[in-house]
Amino acid sequence: MELPLSGACQCRRLRYEISAEPLTVYACHCTECQRQSGSAFSLSMVVPRESITVVSGKTKEWLRTHDSGRIISCIFCDDCGVRLYHNPRANAAITIVKYGTLDNVAELQPVGHIWTRSAQKWFTIPAEAVSYDGQQPDMSRLIAAWKSIGTKFQT
């Protein structure tokens, strides 16, 4: 794959680029991600926060407080309302990109699954995937699993 990675909202007015390789890709099965995505889970790609740049369009921010008290900044397109990424307040070094907003989603596959206790009963978590029953304590195992698959990027 080539860097920068690029993506957009549904109306395509807001476009972004990512200049660094992803740190990991995972599926979140929490009920909030199910509601937000309108699906069984949400795919997330973690990138260094300084690597993401909005190149056109206007964003809107909504702050969400989790049951745990953690606060996450949710970034949307100001026109169509599609959620593009999250900036967790607890970790200012990362941004969590909504994977489906990327222009090319064919080559990156999730290496892990979080909040599996909320997973739909018909979905089978792959045995080889990093898996957490709830929130992962940190990203270390997900990042290590991502590094182990050796996805190649070119600049």
CATH of the domain at 28: 3.90.1590.10
Rounded Cα gap, residues 116 and 125, in angstroms: 8
10 part of a folded domain: yes
Domain interval for residue 108: 5-147
Q: What is the pLDDT of residues 42-97, one digit of tens each?
A: 999 999 999 999 999 999 999 998 777 889 999 999 999 999 999 999 899 999 99
User: What pLDDT, on the 0 to 100 scale, is given for residue 155?
Assistant: 65
Is there a contact between 84 and 97 (Cβ–Cβ < 8 Å)? yes
Predicted structure pTM score? 0.90
Q: Which of 16-30, 41-55, 135-149 has the lowest mean pLDDT?
A: 135-149
- Closest by alpha carbon to 23, among 50, 46, 39? 46
